[in-house]
Amino acid sequence: AGLAEELIAYDEMFTTEERKELLEVIAEESREMDALVEDLLIAARSEDAAVPVFPEVIDLCLLAHDVLHDLTIPAGVSVTVSDGPVDTFADPVRVRQIVRNLVTNALRYGGPNIEIDVRDDVDSVSLRVSDDGPGIKAGDRKAVFEPYGRASQGATHKASVGLGLTLSRRLAGLMDGTLEYVDGDGATFLLRLPPPATASV
């Protein structure tokens, strides 16, 4: 609200470009607040196993592109996505929440290069979000999936993970999927979801 009030009170003092930049910041903060409220609502529901899922056949690559379109990618950061289509059988709303959380974490704590690798693994469909940042120390990796867990990412970052990864793993499970941290350079999270053939079972 502070930036919005400043823009209203001192509108004539800003150039057109400055107004545009301020509006972009306000919009991004609004999206982050919406995401936080959404996560809190899911957390409250998931404790009672009342989070609804409505699976359908979706293109996971296209969904990842849609998520990126709604996020603000900082200057100097490159995010690449596999070519599609790669279909899965899952709830598009819940998958979008998971992918958003994974990419947001990579943007906050990773390096300048982020890769979203989507593959058809026959018995499942995988989406891997990797970055070239400092990664997560071995002793802290279990904590990333705990509510409000804190994990040291390299020597310079102390990351407060909050609810995002906890809820993402729960949502994956509700869709008969999994979400795991994968050892390697940087930080890598691997989401596995049912193949599209599951829709006909």
Q: Which amino acid is at 155?
A: A
Identify the three-state secondary structure at position 118: strand
Q: Which residues contact 11 (CB under 8 A, 6 or more apart)?
A: 19
Q: What is the pTM of this model?
A: 0.74
**56 strand-pairing partners:** 90
**CATH class of this structure's domain 56-200:** alpha beta
Q: Would you state the pLDDT for residue 58? A: 97
DSSP code, position 187:
-
Please give the Cα distance from 110 to 11 (Å, whole number): 36
pLDDT, residue 117, reads 97
- In this structure, what are the phi and psi dihedrals at residue 119, rounded to the nearest 5 degrees? -140, 150
- Structure tokens, 75: 């200057």
pLDDT of residue 54: 92
What does the alpha-carbon distance between residue 136 and residue 186 come to, in Å, rounded to a whole number? 7
DSSP class of residue 73 equals P
The domain ranges of the chain are 2-46, 56-200
Q: Cα(98)–Cα(171) distance, rounded to whole angstroms?
A: 7
For position 197, what pLDDT does the model report? 85
Specify the pLDDT at position 144: 82
Burial of 199 (C-beta count, 10 Å sphere; 0-12/13-18/19+)? middle
Q: In the prediction, which pLDDT does 124 show?
A: 95
155 contacts 149 by C-beta, under 8 angstroms: no
Cα dist. 100→52, 65, 111, 168 in Å?
A: 19, 11, 17, 9
Q: What pLDDT does 152 receive?
A: 47
Per-residue pLDDT 10s for the chain (201 aa) are: 455 666 666 666 767 777 777 677 667 666 656 665 666 666 566 555 567 889 999 999 999 999 998 888 888 999 999 998 999 999 998 999 899 999 998 998 899 999 999 999 989 999 999 999 988 887 777 778 877 654 544 434 444 445 788 889 988 999 999 999 998 888 999 999 999 987 665
